[in-house]
Amino acid sequence: MQFTDAVVLESPTDHFAQRQPGAVLEFADFKRFLVRDGREHGAEYRFDSRATAPITENGSVVGVRYDGDEEVRADIVVDATGPAAPLAKQLGVSDLERQNQAIGIEWEMEGVEVDHPDYADLTDAMMLRLDHDLAPGGYSWIFHTGGDTAKVGLCYIQNEKYHSNADGMNIDDYLDQWLDSDPRFADAEKLAGKQHRGSAHIQPPNQLSTDGFVAIGDAVPTIDPLWGEGIHKGLKSARAAAIAADHCLTGTVDTSAEEIDVYDTLWHRDVAPDAGIRLLMTHLLYYAPNERYDRLMRDINAMDLDTLASANGGSLRAIAKLLHREDLPMLRDFVRENPEIVKRGLSDYVPLL
């Protein structure tokens, strides 16, 4: 929809901007492209169909049951059904927990003042805002799509600890509250039929594959917990699954769990190599109060880009430069309330944990 030149982070009263090329994707067009491209390579599609159960024989997955009694057989079944994960759940590969589910809503809008004098210039930019008043346990965003149009939305984790003062508000209420209070939307209108909703789980996978079966994308889940990057991660997990399938089907066909485990190895190495520490960073970020977000903006504005990139990549040494003595009570409470998250995150650095 629009090529962008910058990424902007906002807190309630401050912001940070960095040059970073990107593109705002028109997801519906992208899915249509995938169908066209797949058909050119021999893929068959069954639309308006729902997968309901895996077909297993002798302990191995050999196909899928869909639309009642309909069946399709395959050497390898790939579950790409997103957070519903009906196949992965029944096989015990996926164990998605509601308290780790993040939900999101987005509208395409026109009349957005992307260069408002009281805020950072969002022309050709993607903006993420950390503000518990707008998105408790999450973030909101404005992605410029050209002229006075933008994608505007928010997402948050559906966990009670982030919503203790919600007063019955749902995600639509939070978005409307933002649209009503932010002057950038004073003359903005939602485009009819241009609402998007989605969900994903912010948790590490328990398992990724089994005999004759792999799960990819949000069925695992694969989303980057820190910044919600899902499409790119989903594509990378699909590529890893394709490599594993090629390995299992080349020469002597062997789709056993031992051979298909190539996917697990590639996933942990190439798709989400620092899943534990990034999950820890995510929960710590959302645990911090609003005033800490303002301090964070000041800190990252003063930090050199190499150190900032290292912190975003999970370097404990770089992350430590963003912490202050005043954070010790918050860190103590966070460790006490989230021991498993802390343990898993630090195990990326101290495997014996």
Q: Within 155-304, where are the H helices?
A: 171-181, 231-249, 257-260, 262-266, 275-287, 290-302
pLDDT given at position 350: 57
Question: What does the pLDDT read at residue 226?
Answer: 84
Residue 130 CB neighbour total at 10 angstroms: 22
**Which amino acid, 246?**
D
- What does the domain layout of the chain look like in residue ranges? 2-27+99-201, 276-347
What integer pLDDT is reported at residue 353 of this predicted model?
43
State residue 70's pLDDT score. 95
Q: Which fold has domain 2-27+99-201?
A: D-Amino Acid Oxidase; Chain A, domain 2 (3.30.9)
Using alpha carbons, select from 140, 28, 155, 143 the residue that is nearest to residue 83: 155
Per-residue model confidence (pLDDT) at position 77: 97
For the chain, 353 residues long, the average pLDDT of each consecutive 10-residue run is 96 95 92 96 94 94 95 96 92 87 95 97 97 94 97 90 74 96 97 93 89 95 86 93 97 96 95 88 92 95 91 87 93 92 79 46
DSSP line for 19-56: EEEEEE--HHHHHHHHHHHHHHTT-----S--EEEEEE
